[in-house]
Amino acid sequence: MRQPASLDFKRQLERDGVPAPAAGIDMDLVRDCIHCGLCLPKCPTFRALHHEGDSPRGRMWQIKEAALGLVAFDDPRFQAHIYQCFNCRACETACPSGVQFGSVMEMARAQTPPQNRRDRMVRALLLNGLLPHSRRLRTAGWLYRAIRALRLAALLRRSGIWRILPLGKFAAFPPVGDTSPRQVPLAALTPAQGARRARVGLLTGCIQDEMFHGTNRRTALALAMNGCDVVLPSTRVCCGALASHAGEAKTAERLAGATMDAFNGQGLDAVVVNAAGCGSNMKEYEVQLRNDAPRREAGAAFSRTVRDASEFLVEIGLRPPSRLIPLRVAYQDPCHLVHGQKIHRQPRHVLETIPGIELVEMKESDWCCGSAGVYNLTHPEISEEALAWKVRHIVDSGAQLIASANPGCILQIGMGLQRAGHDIPVVHVMDLLGWAYGDVSQRPPVVRQAMA
């Protein structure tokens, strides 16, 4: 009897010897997939597109074929299936075989030309043209906040002009984040309150620092209130997460090296990160730097010191804040925290430690909101479908406020709720903790009223 094609293919590889795989794809990681399909029910793009090629199993199969030269990396169908992936890594959590899907996908994307014009533009303007350049980013951040401060966002949104701009979706001005054009820089050292328990570095980041500078300040406060000296990096750096997830390997590698250098030699017990995508990326610098033998080991050592902010605070024993925030709060799991870093319990523990907060669970809190790095810019239609699911589940949860732990998710969900006409604020877990420790800045009205 004729064997199914998959068995034929595997036997052929075993019999004939595996052809030399494409450089840059680790075939050991690819072969971990046994094509069982248990990940399919957890894959948002499979649910949206109903196509095996847009499932984790289908993508692993195609990556193997491309690596072995059986399909071209620039085959348009291959490109579509690779770039239509959220890279949310929900399949990793579901997989019984331990497939490191995120790493394999990033290796595959590094070989695969961008799928469409939008993708090329996002890479040129944002990933390579803006984020790695501190001064340009400062100017763009100032402009963005100035437009929000002058309340021009709604006017510009209504004008429709942003639809013709390459990064139009960014310009939709979600109702979250900082609005003051002028930022008060964080101190190079925020000293520990009470007995010192640790000396930590804090990644302030690129987009995070421009749009959520207040969250960085409250993260530093929360760490200091828990006995940590908080040290900033010697220069402001982008960790390379967005570039890496998009397959811009060279840019990601360069930014990984710069980030390590910026924290080097400061005698730190840990490097704390409050952006899930950045933390996940920085915990995998060994993979990022796989082509740079001398730095690869240093990357692995650096990664061992990286902690998400909630993860770190729970690890050292969180000191409960004293101020009451009597609100019903739902937590949205960022993919790169729950699937990328396997951190599920700690942010919920932080929220439950804040007096007054009633934590409610929303359906599918660990499903991607469609932000997915730069995905909402490159593939807005599929992203919108995921966002619509998310908004529905948030509304059904009855929460008065949403907490999350990643700037991309906070922007995307804030925008989705605003467009659907729901006045439910989206904030970072560290915002709530900072307010409960006594910071009174930037509280949304519902928080101000609850704390009055």
Residues touching ligand SF4: how many (CB under 6 A)? 27
Give the number of other Cβ atoms within 10 Å of residue 345's Cβ.
11
Work out whether 60 is an interface residue with ligand SF4 (CB under 6 A). yes
**Residues 237 and 201: beta-carbon distance below 8 Å:** no
Looking at residue 357, its amino acid is I
Helix H or strand E segment including 391: helix 380-397
Extended beta strands in 319-382, E state: 328-331, 358-360
Work out whether 34 is an interface residue with ligand SF4 (CB under 6 A). yes
Binding residue (CB under 6 A) for ligand SF4 from 78, 101, 144, 437: 101
Work out whether 91 is an interface residue with ligand SF4 (CB under 6 A). yes
At CA 299, angle to CA 244 and CA 238, rounded to 5?
45
Please identify, among the stretches 90-98, 161-169, 205-213, 381-389, the one whose residues bind ligand SF4 according to the rule CB under 6 A.
90-98
Binding residue (CB under 6 A) for ligand SF4 from 29, 90, 330, 403: 90
Looking at residue 126, its amino acid is L
List phi, psi (to 5°) of 22: -60, 140
List phi, psi (to 5°) of 232: -85, 155
Work out whether 121 is an interface residue with ligand SF4 (CB under 6 A). no
Work out whether 271 is an interface residue with ligand SF4 (CB under 6 A). no
Please identify, among the stretches 30-38, 113-121, 185-193, 293-301, the one whose residues bind ligand SF4 according to the rule CB under 6 A.
30-38
Helix H or strand E segment including 190: strand 189-190
Q: C-beta of 214: minimal distance to ligand SF4 in Å?
A: 31
Helix H or strand E segment including 297: helix 293-305
Work out whether 437 is an interface residue with ligand SF4 (CB under 6 A). no
Report d(CA 282, CA 273) in Å as an integer: 9
Work out whether 95 is an interface residue with ligand SF4 (CB under 6 A). yes
Please identify, among the stretches 56-64, 283-291, 386-394, 405-413, the one whose residues bind ligand SF4 according to the rule CB under 6 A.
56-64
Q: C-beta of 391: minimal distance to ligand SF4 in Å?
A: 19
**Residues 107 and 66: beta-carbon distance below 8 Å:** no
List phi, psi (to 5°) of 330: -110, 145
Work out whether 86 is an interface residue with ligand SF4 (CB under 6 A). yes
Closest to ligand SF4 by CB, 71 vs 451, is 71
Binding residue (CB under 6 A) for ligand SF4 from 64, 81, 89, 390: 89
Closest to ligand SF4 by CB, 94 vs 186, is 94
Tokens of 318: 């969180």
Closest to ligand SF4 by CB, 39 vs 327, is 39
The residues binding ligand SF4 (CB under 6 A) are 33-39, 42-45, 56-57, 59-60, 85-91, 94-95, 97, 99, 101
